Amino acid sequence: MIRLWGRWVRRFRQTESGEALAALRVACGLCVVASVASVVVNDLPLVLWADSQHGGYRSPTNLHWLMQALGGATDRAVWILAGAAISAGMCIILGLGGRLAPLVAGQCLLALIQSNPLAGGAYDTLLHNALWLLVLSRSTATLSLDCRWRHGTWAQPVQVPAWPRYLVVLQMVVVYASTGIQKMSTHWSPAGGFSALYYTLQQPSWQRFDMAWLAIIYPLTQMGTAITWIWEVSSPLLLVALYFQATPRNGSRLRRALSRIRFRGLFVLIGVPMHLLTWILMDLGQFTWISLAMYPCLYQPAELTGCARRVGQRLGFRRR
């Protein structure tokens, strides 16, 4: 037990450069701005988030403490929170304000969402969780204005704790695994003909446009259903594969099997196109983008910078 605890402590005391967390930070900031700005552009903040006496369509009963501090779900409070969320989102993108920016953005979003849970979805919770992970991390250590002001350069190989990145990966696995486990309908299994995806895409509440034409390629939707479900329920193996990759040694058949099929690469190869295709076909709010925002954390920063360097060389960029 002592030896196991020692391994655990050593693993979570590891440090690394901050490029992966910086990528997560920028993507989360974009999601925050897009989430609130889309409501503002369509002139819907008061309709969705304000009390019925101030232009809303319902009267909220369980207000967030921040909304209460601003006097309730009034038009003034809603606009203050929306403006603060967008401003904090921009600071997150630029890497300004360290942990404070994601904390402010998260609390403002939570105050708006809690005033009308019917106007949001699970993607709001996922975005809020990601913002909390940014609060826990040093995501502005590099590729940020904070870095520019501290070191005189936009990028600096400053060492940061690696465990927040591990938590991001754990968050991904929890989302995918729990989603797969909850798919208990026979339509997700051979007993139901793997028809779940086809029927889901026929529901007007989800689809972006009429998709009756999917009947022509019905076998492809069956294949998509099977692949999606297997991919989700097998996501816990991602944690095992990443651990094996970080601790290379001869060992079990599972270690050799996951290494042979390059499980992480296979997971990403399925996950990224699946999310993009889902975004094209279905209206899921920010779910696609906040999910993809976490994918850089599957890679060690050295892997990301190496990939960026190779892409730059192929595009003709040279470091001076």
Question: Does residue 188 sit in the same domain as residue 273?
Answer: yes
User: What confidence score (pLDDT) does residue 166 get?
Assistant: 95
Q: What is the mean pLDDT of the chain?
A: 92
Among 105, 140, 158, residue at a domain's last position: 158
**Average confidence (pLDDT) over 37-59:** 94
Min mean pLDDT across 2-6, 42-46, 243-247 is at: 2-6
pLDDT tens profile 223-274: 999 999 999 999 999 999 998 888 877 678 888 888 889 999 999 999 999 9
Min mean pLDDT across 39-48, 123-132, 242-251 is at: 242-251
* Banded model confidence at residue 130, pLDDT cuts 50, 70, 90: very high
Higher pLDDT, 10 or 76: 76
Say if 39 falls within a structural domain. yes
User: What confidence score (pLDDT) does residue 118 get?
Assistant: 87
Question: Does residue 62 sit in the same domain as residue 45?
Answer: yes
Question: Does residue 110 sit in the same domain as residue 233?
Answer: no
Question: Does residue 149 sit in the same domain as residue 186?
Answer: no
Question: Does residue 57 sit in the same domain as residue 127?
Answer: yes
Q: Is the pLDDT of residue 320 over 60?
A: no
Tokens, residue 233: 């329920």
Find the domain containing 108 and state its range: 18-158
User: What confidence score (pLDDT) does residue 113 get?
Assistant: 93
Question: Does residue 252 sit in the same domain as residue 187?
Answer: yes
User: What confidence score (pLDDT) does residue 317 get?
Assistant: 63
pLDDT tens profile 191-206: 899 999 999 999 998 8
Question: Does residue 154 sit in the same domain as residue 255?
Answer: no
Provide the domain count of the chain.
2
Question: Does residue 144 sit in the same domain as residue 115?
Answer: yes
Say if 317 falls within a structural domain. no
Q: How far is CA 12 from CA 8, 76, 173, 259, in A?
A: 6, 44, 18, 23
Say if 49 falls within a structural domain. yes
Say if 2 falls within a structural domain. no
Question: Does residue 219 sit in the same domain as residue 130?
Answer: no
Question: Does residue 180 sit in the same domain as residue 94?
Answer: no
Say if 293 falls within a structural domain. no
Question: Does residue 117 sit in the same domain as residue 169?
Answer: no
Say if 95 falls within a structural domain. yes
User: What confidence score (pLDDT) does residue 318 get?
Assistant: 56
Question: Does residue 181 sit in the same domain as residue 92?
Answer: no
**Average confidence (pLDDT) over 26-35:** 97
Among 100, 132, 158, residue at a domain's last position: 158
pTM over 0.75: yes
User: What confidence score (pLDDT) does residue 58 get?
Assistant: 87
